[in-house]
Amino acid sequence: MVPMFSASRIIKSSLFLLLAGGIISFNSCKKDDESATESVPLTPYSIDIPHGFPEPYLNADNPMTVEGIDMGHHFYYDPILSENGMRCTSCHFPNRSFSGLPYTTPAGDDIDIPPHVNLAWNPDYDWDGGIHMLDSLPLGDFAPQFFNTNMMALRQRLTASDYYSEMFKKVYHVTNFYSLTDDQLKMDIVKTIAQYLRSMVSANSKYDRYKLDHSVFTPSELNGYLIFMTEKGDCFHCHGDPLFTINQNKNNGLECNPTGINQGAYLITGIETDKGKFSVPTLRNIEFTAPYMHDGRFQTLEEVVEFYNSGVCQSSPNIDPIMTKPAKIYGLQLFDWEKADLVAFLKTLSDTTFMNNPNFANPF
Amino acid sequence: MKKLVLVLVLVSLFSCKKDATDFVDPTPTTSNVKVQITYNVDGEAVVFDTVRYTTPSGLPFSVVTVNYFLSNIYLIKSDSSNVKLADYFYGDGRDLTSTLDVSSIAIGNYIGIKFNIGVDSAHNIVDGLPATVDYNNMIWPEALGGGYHFLKFEGYFTDAGVNYGYAMHLGKNPNLVPVVLYHSISVSGTTSAINLKMNLNEWLKNPSIYDFNTDGNYSMMNDAAMQKLSENGTDVFSF
């Protein structure tokens, strides 16, 4: 079985520390508390929930700890997991809010690489919303077409690393990487990455400051905000405040006759009424995550806005009723300056303090 | 440390014993109330997305979304005083497992239930309700006055063979829908179930027919449409 920390164990051990005031040695602790077998107790981590954000989706089986996050942070940037030098940041670029350029599948489809921002608030992942568990999501990266990981060679590399040897001892009480099965080792690794991903919170954009102090917007940004948040542009029904996604699957009318990957959630569920629907993406840091849409079909925000302005296919199957309002049938009819205002507003969702946060920077 | 553990153990043993020997009140004075809401169109249970029903004005339609708030939910006593069940409740037509569960309601016979459809004016403001996923998705943007959607009732309809979307969104304080339902409700035993039904077609009739073609298939920014929905809304619920 994978050694795991239960939340109660962490509370117990930190409570004990508190009581003991660091005087009583861990030997006496062992006598009283059979669960305190770790050499050093882990430090529980709780997400600082930004104003207006709901409770994040956490996993009781994978409680966040400072140590777990640190290890996940290292794995995220470390080619140690792969046989080919690849790492998460080979595709998820830090200076693009951890998004990337489209990945071309063996079948020849382009799939845009989504950003990592506020993932703790996503109930499902990937463009088609097909993955529901962040804790196991990165398992796919060990596959031959990505990291091509050789698990025996990985054990050797981890054993040779002082950092990972020490951290595995701390976090999982594992002293011997060979005592774990391949699946256990992979799971232990990706769980720490998931902890790290959950710690990546962005809520310090110009827009967030606008909400606190209504003075910071330029006239153009303010007008864009009004277009976005009113029926005129009507973006808010899907990209609602404060996450800028309602985290549901919707069809925004990209394709009149979706085939191949454009069928979206239908490919997961096989339900006809899911055809053309994609998990609404967050627009936080959208300035940095070009190209746009699941296949990266739009290179700029101007192109995206022009799509919503004049390119929506009203007859797309299952197009969201919000997209087919009479005022939208002939497009949004925005003037050029209004389109520019909408783009200006979208750029107020940029949070450079997030991308420059040392907690998310390359730790090596 | 050992002493502390001992004390804790003693305390817990003691409290265990006390629980076990506590006498059981032979006549409980309160009960748990469970309000369950189901959805239909003129008596036919709603099947989302696929099934077509007919609006009062004769248009075939399907249902994609039914999200709404209830607020200030009270049981009415025979002396017409009230017992509060909850300040607010979020309903999702797709989720029949979400019920309003209230503990410790005085046992007895009540003559009805009353509530508003929508969020009462005190809470219908920016940050008026706690930030949950569901509540946030009902936010009425600050730029439009702030607060929450009272109702999102969306889907598709066909007219002369052409498919259109519709979205009946309700919000703004004057459009809060007062609902009073007189019906004998007995609160007794450990759990008392109160089963309410929402007939979606009642949004579109009584007192006035709401026709997607003439009144608008979208109610947003349309005060006349919202007022009609609000007036029609008083009898969407029944026992």
Q: In chain B, which residues have their Cβ closer than 8 Å to the Cβ of A319?
A: 165
**Is the CB of B223 inside 8 Å of chain A's CB atoms?**
no
Identity of the residue in B64, B132, B139 whose CB atom sits nearest the CB atom of A240: B139
Q: Place A32 in a pLDDT band, splitting at 50, 70 and 90.
A: very low
**Is the CB of A58 inside 8 Å of chain B's CB atoms?**
no
Query: Per-residue pLDDT averaged across A217-231, rounded?
Result: 96
Does A240 contact B136 at a Cβ distance shorter than 8 Å? Answer: yes
Q: What pLDDT does B23 receive?
A: 62
CA–CA gap between residue B98 and residue A122 (Å, rounded): 21
CA-nearest of B129, B125, B141 to B220 is B141
**Where along chain A do its domains lie?**
18-201, 206-353
Query: What confidence tens digit (pLDDT) does each residue in B195-221 have?
Result: 999 999 999 999 999 999 999 999 998
Query: Per-residue pLDDT averaged across A88-102, rounded?
Result: 97
Which class does domain A206-353 fall in?
Answer: mainly alpha
Q: What pLDDT does A330 receive?
A: 78
Q: What pLDDT does A15 receive?
A: 37
Decide if pLDDT at A28 tops 50.
no
Give A32 or B235, the one with higher predicted confidence. B235
Does A54 contact B64 at a Cβ distance shorter than 8 Å? Answer: no
**Is the CB of B155 inside 8 Å of chain A's CB atoms?**
yes
Greatest Cα-to-Cα distance within chain A, rounded to the nearest angstrom: 76
Strands (E), B22-171: 30-41, 44-45, 53-54, 60-77, 82-92, 100-106, 108-117, 151-159, 162-170
Q: What pLDDT does A214 receive?
A: 84
Query: What confidence tens digit (pLDDT) does each residue in B87-132 have?
Result: 999 999 999 998 999 999 999 999 999 999 999 999 999 999 999 9
- Show which of residues 30-69 on chain B sit within 8 Å of chain A, judged by CB atoms: 49-50, 64-65
**Is the CB of B125 inside 8 Å of chain A's CB atoms?**
no
CA–CA gap between residue A108 and residue B66 (Å, rounded): 39
A318, A266 in Cβ contact below 8 A? no
Q: In chain B, which residues have their Cβ closer than 8 Å to the Cβ of A234?
A: 220
Identity of the residue in B132, B136, B165 whose CB atom sits nearest the CB atom of A321: B165
> What φ, ψ does residue B199 adopt, rounded to 5°?
-95, 110
Q: Place B17 in a pLDDT band, splitting at 50, 70 and 90.
A: very low
Q: Which residues pair with B66 in a beta bridge?
A: B153
- DSSP per-residue letters across A81-139: G-SSS--HHHHSBGGGTTBEEEEEPTTS-EEEE---SSGGG-SSBSTT--B--TTTGGG
At residue A95, what is the residue type? N
Chain A, nearest residue to B167 by Cα: A321
Chain B, nearest residue to A225 by Cα: B143
Query: What confidence tens digit (pLDDT) does each residue in B142-165 have?
Result: 999 999 999 999 999 999 988 999
Query: Per-residue pLDDT averaged across A22-26, rounded?
Result: 35
CA–CA gap between residue A219 and residue A212 (Å, rounded): 17
**Is the CB of A19 inside 8 Å of chain B's CB atoms?**
yes
Q: Which two tokens stand for residue B216?
A: 């608008």
**Where along chain B do its domains lie?**
2-238
CA–CA gap between residue A345 and residue A305 (Å, rounded): 12
Decide if pLDDT at B75 tops 50.
yes
Residues in Cβ contact with B215 at an 8 Å cutoff, skipping those fewer than 6 apart: B224, B225, B228
CA–CA gap between residue A189 and residue A155 (Å, rounded): 12
Print burial letters for B111-128: b (CB count within 10 Å at least 16), e (below 16). ebbbbbbbbbeebbbeeb
Does A324 contact B164 at a Cβ distance shorter than 8 Å? Answer: yes
**Is the CB of B74 inside 8 Å of chain A's CB atoms?**
no
Topology match between the domains A18-201 and A206-353: yes
Which class does domain A18-201 fall in?
Answer: mainly alpha
**Is the CB of A241 inside 8 Å of chain B's CB atoms?**
yes
